């Protein structure tokens, strides 16, 4: 994920706004009306003051008309500002929703290498927290920048109509405020970017500790986890303090300059009033405009700071949206594949500087059961990842029924494999809905039959609402073994032409595993199956056993043949047998 310069991020935000040109136009019109009505108040106030000619001499008829106009103006200001705020909210939150949708959609098709190379909690932080921060900054921009700029232009016009000489004092001193705001805002972008990054790291760490809370407590790691968290939290606090410090001095700095300008206007205007160069009502109006003129600069300086934060967060969202998708140039769709699979001179490594799989050659006939065994890190699961094209090979070919998998449509390729993994995944929904993910059209009878075959029916019936019980995997309602049985049942409802069982029974006790093996045998009959397992007792009946070491198949054959060779597999099998 490549970082983009601030100017490019800003231009991208502008391009996102193009789709809302009509709403923006309405917002600008409402902003113009709001500013006009707001700036009309000081004029009317000055006229009201000038109605008081002298002590005991007041033009009440004229004063009443002026007051009536003021009431109408205030009511009109309320309605135009309300409409503007509604429109701005709609634009802001629709853009944020759109960016969130696109970022989440990209994660569904992003390269696994990109996802695996980042802490998963960081993605959560980007799509949730960073999107919210971006929305806040964008909303402030719409609400205050539009009206602020128009207010500045409007007050300049009205000040010039009252007194050009005093207006020049205000206008000439204005660039000082702008230069101060620009200097400080350049510092804030860097610190807000660091703050967003550290917030993502902290979210990821919290998620990691919560998910693995049992292991943390078992290893008495609570104090160490607290120390590590405090380190990350301190870094976040430091970055936040720096960002907040620079952002907080913008407003006081510009306010100081504007107050000096206001004082100068008051002194010079009072001198002019004594010589008849301006009326008392005119001076009151001008001072009101001078104050109104300074206020947008103070607000805009604050908006600039918030917008720096918003830009930093938008950049992190755009990094997800711009990440590379899986390459799917395949146009071939497999129709009832036979299941012939061949690896020809396949080379692959996650880190191109470290070799993993080199010149891998495997030929599997249709319907064969292939077991992959070997030490941890040997490349067993990597073979599965390559077969499913979760990662693309560096060189060589993987063929299914003689066709290169890169020429096969990705969705079609993966839909022809049924997968049961060591890591279970069930969504927070009813058991029935989870099981029907594999086959939405499955009847209740088919669901129950599959559950019985996988020995899941008995514990499901004991649940509060049976198959309609809503499960939450974070509440410990089901054991890891029960969750895995549900995952196996899900595959049983729609068995594709080829199967992958990656430590599929690792969380199931030996007795249940023996019972479920018959269901597996039924499921695997006539289907090409790859089984990755540590329990060698579960793979003795495999047609082909591949012993993988350092990314290379060092032994190949069935159980009897490999025992006779008395090599790696035989040693591993005997040690496993002795342990058990």
Over residues 126-175, the pLDDT tens digits come to 888 888 888 888 877 777 777 777 888 888 887 787 778 777 877 777 76
Contact indicator for 348, 552 with CB cutoff of 8 Å: no
Q: Is the pLDDT of residue 376 over 70?
A: yes
Q: Is the pLDDT of residue 474 over 60?
A: no
Average pLDDT over residues 105-124: 79
Q: Is the pLDDT of residue 10 over 70?
A: yes
Q: What is the pLDDT of residues 45-103, one digit of tens each?
A: 777 777 776 556 777 777 788 888 888 988 998 999 899 888 888 888 888 888 888 88
Q: Which residues contact 320 (CB under 8 A, 6 or more apart)?
A: 1, 103, 106, 107, 110, 123, 126, 127
* pLDDT of 360: 85
Q: Tokens 């035989």 identify what position? A: 570
Q: Which two tokens stand for residue 573?
A: 């099998």
Q: Which residues pair with 430 in a beta bridge?
A: 470
* pLDDT of 284: 74
- The Cα–Cα gap between 219 and 155 comes to 68
Report which listed range, 160-164, 248-252, 476-480, is most confident.
Answer: 160-164
Task: Give the lowest-confidence range in 298-312, 422-436, 461-475.
Answer: 298-312
Contact indicator for 325, 110 with CB cutoff of 8 Å: yes
Task: Give the lowest-confidence range in 11-25, 288-302, 336-350, 368-382.
Answer: 288-302
| Cα 187 to Cα 132, 308, 309, 391, distances in angstroms | 22, 9, 11, 41
Q: Which residues contact 472 (CB under 8 A, 6 or more apart)?
A: 428
Report which listed range, 152-161, 256-265, 487-496, is most confident.
Answer: 487-496
* pLDDT of 506: 65
- The Cα–Cα gap between 148 and 156 comes to 12
Q: Report which secondary-structure segment, H or E, holds 546.
A: strand 544-549
Average pLDDT over residues 408-425: 84
* pLDDT of 580: 45
* pLDDT of 37: 86
Report which listed range, 25-39, 209-223, 387-401, is most confident.
Answer: 387-401
- The Cα–Cα gap between 379 and 382 comes to 5
Name the residue ranges covered by the structural domains of the chain. Answer: 9-193+248-321, 341-579
- The Cα–Cα gap between 306 and 327 comes to 38
- The Cα–Cα gap between 487 and 218 comes to 27
> Percent of the chain, pLDDT > 90?
7
Q: Is the pLDDT of residue 302 over 70?
A: no
Fold designation for 341-579: Rossmann fold (3.40.50)
**Domain 9-193+248-321, architecture per CATH:** Up-down Bundle (1.20)
* pLDDT of 342: 93
Largest CA distance in the chain: 123
Contact indicator for 316, 196 with CB cutoff of 8 Å: yes
> Percent of the chain, pLDDT > 70?
87
- The Cα–Cα gap between 14 and 8 comes to 10
More confident residue, 200 or 186: 200
Q: What is the pLDDT of residues 504-557, one digit of tens each?
A: 666 667 776 776 677 777 778 888 999 887 667 667 788 899 888 877 888 888
* pLDDT of 401: 92
Average pLDDT over residues 462-470: 89
Q: Is the pLDDT of residue 335 over 50?
A: yes
Q: Is the pLDDT of residue 579 over 80?
A: no
- The Cα–Cα gap between 410 and 406 comes to 8
Q: Any alpha helices (H) in 212-360, and if so which ranges?
A: 213-218, 222-248, 250-274, 280-321
Q: Tokens 């470290």 identify what position? A: 354
More confident residue, 502 or 537: 502
Q: Is the pLDDT of residue 391 over 90?
A: no
Banded model confidence at residue 343, pLDDT cuts 50, 70, 90: very high
| Cα 113 to Cα 323, 358, 359, distances in angstroms | 11, 19, 22
Q: Which two tokens stand for residue 328?
A: 């799917």
* pLDDT of 39: 81
Contact indicator for 461, 380 with CB cutoff of 8 Å: no
Q: What value does the mean pLDDT of the chain take?
A: 80
């Amino acid at each position: 994920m490549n970082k983009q310069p601030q100017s490019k991020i800003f231009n991208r935000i502008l391009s996102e706004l193009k789709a809302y040109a009509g709403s923006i136009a309405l917002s600008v019109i409402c902003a113009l009306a709001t500013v006009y009505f707001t700036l009309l108040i000081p004029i009317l106030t000055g006229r009201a003051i000038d109605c008081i000619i002298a002590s005991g001499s007041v033009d009440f008829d004229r004063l009443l008309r002026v007051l009536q106009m003021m009431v109408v103006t205030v009511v009109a200001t309320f309605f135009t500002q309300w409409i503007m705020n509604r429109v701005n909210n709609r634009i802001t939150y629709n853009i944020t929703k759109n960016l969130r949708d696109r970022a989440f959609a990209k994660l569904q098709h992003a390269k696994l290498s990109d996802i695996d190379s980042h802490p998963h909690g960081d993605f959560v932080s980007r799509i949730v927290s960073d999107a919210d921060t971006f929305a806040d900054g964008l909303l402030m921009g719409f609400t205050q920048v539009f009206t602020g700029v128009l207010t500045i232009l409007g007050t300049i016009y009205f000040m010039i109509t009252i007194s050009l000489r005093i207006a020049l004092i205000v206008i000439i001193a204005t660039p000082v405020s702008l230069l101060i705001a620009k200097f400080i805002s350049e510092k804030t972008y860097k610190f807000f970017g660091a703050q967003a990054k550290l917030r993502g790291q902290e979210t990821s760490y919290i998620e990691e500790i919560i998910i693995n809370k049992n292991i943390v407590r078992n290893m008495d790691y609570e104090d160490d986890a607290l120390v590590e968290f405090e380190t990350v939290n301190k870094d976040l606090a430091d970055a936040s303090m720096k960002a907040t410090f620079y952002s907080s001095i913008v407003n006081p700095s510009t306010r100081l300059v504007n107050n000096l300008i206001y004082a100068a206007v008051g002194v010079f205007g009072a001198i002019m009033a004594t010589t008849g160069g301006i009326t008392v009502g005119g001076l009151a109006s001008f001072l009101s405009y001078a104050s109104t003129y300074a206020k947008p600069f103070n607000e805009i300086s604050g908006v600039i700071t918030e917008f720096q934060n918003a830009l930093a967060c938008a950049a992190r969202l755009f990094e997800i949206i711009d990440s590379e998708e899986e390459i799917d140039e395949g146009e071939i769709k497999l129709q009832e594949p036979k299941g012939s699979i061949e690896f020809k001179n396949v080379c692959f490594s996650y880190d191109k500087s470290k070799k993993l799989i080199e010149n891998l050659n495997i030929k599997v006939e249709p319907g064969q059961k292939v077991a992959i065994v070997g030490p941890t890190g040997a490349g067993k699961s990597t073979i599965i990842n390559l077969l499913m094209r979760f990662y693309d090979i560096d060189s060589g070919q993987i063929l299914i029924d003689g066709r290169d998998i890169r020429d096969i449509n990705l969705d079609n390729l993966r839909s022809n494999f049924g997968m049961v993994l060591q890591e279970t995944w069930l969504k927070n929904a009813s058991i029935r809905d989870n099981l029907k993910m594999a086959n939405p059209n499955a009847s209740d009878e088919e669901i129950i039959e599959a559950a019985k075959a996988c020995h899941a029916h008995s514990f499901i019936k004991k649940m509060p609402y049976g198959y309609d019980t809503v499960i939450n995997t974070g509440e410990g309602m089901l054991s890891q073994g029960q969750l895995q049985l549900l995952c196996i049942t899900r595959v049983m409802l729609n068995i594709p032409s080829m199967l992958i069982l990656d430590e599929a029974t690792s969380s199931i006790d030996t007795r249940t595993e023996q019972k479920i093996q018959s269901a597996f045998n039924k499921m695997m009959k006539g289907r090409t199956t790859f089984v990755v397992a540590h329990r060698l007792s579960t793979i003795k009946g495999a047609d082909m056993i591949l012993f993988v070491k350092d990314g290379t198949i060092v032994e190949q054959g069935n159980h009897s043949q490999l025992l006779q060779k008395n090599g790696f597999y035989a040693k591993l099998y005997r040690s496993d047998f002795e342990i058990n």
